Amino acid sequence: MLDQARYDAEVALFRRKNFLPGAWKFVDLNGARPFLAAAVKTKVGNIYTIQIELKNFPQYVPKVFVTKMLKRCDGVAMDSPSRSMHTLASEYGWTRICHYGAESWTPGVSLYKIYIKCALWLNCYEQHLRTGKPMDYYLTHQA
């Protein structure tokens, strides 16, 4: 669970990166499903919302969702695990992003780094929509 010192460090990092205060928010930190909600603006100007679950953070890789069900360029929902598309099984009716392999995870990874990796994923997703190439064309896998 996110203790006060880690929470303070995460908030300070987002502020240092000049993240707009309204673009991210910690929600339900003392509840059953704590998460960080953050807006991501892609290079082409589309805005997505991601949720980073904090229940077992930073000890374990947090689940990250785009708060809608994305579709591949062929119209198929991105709701199941796909190595080539870097997705995991969906929950809440949302696409779940594969952003870190369990073997690559360390508790020192910041929420900001996860955010940056998810922003990269979303930009690659938009390239997939434009070109039809799988996410593997743009992203590499971690252990």
pTM for the structure as a whole: 0.94
Encode pLDDT of 123-135 as tens digits. 999 999 999 999 9
Residue type for position 36: L
**How far apart are alpha carbons 63 and 8 in whole angstroms?**
21
Encode pLDDT of 61-81 as tens digits. 999 999 999 999 999 999 999
Q: Could you tell me which of 83, 95, 94, 74 has the C-alpha nearest to residue 139?
A: 83
Q: Which residues contact 97 (CB under 8 A, 6 or more apart)?
A: 50, 64, 65, 66, 86, 87, 88, 118, 121
Q: Judge whether 100 and 111 are in contact, CB under 8 Å.
A: no
pLDDT of 4 > 80? The answer is yes
Mean pLDDT of 114-126: 97
**How far apart are alpha carbons 109 and 99 in whole angstroms?**
12
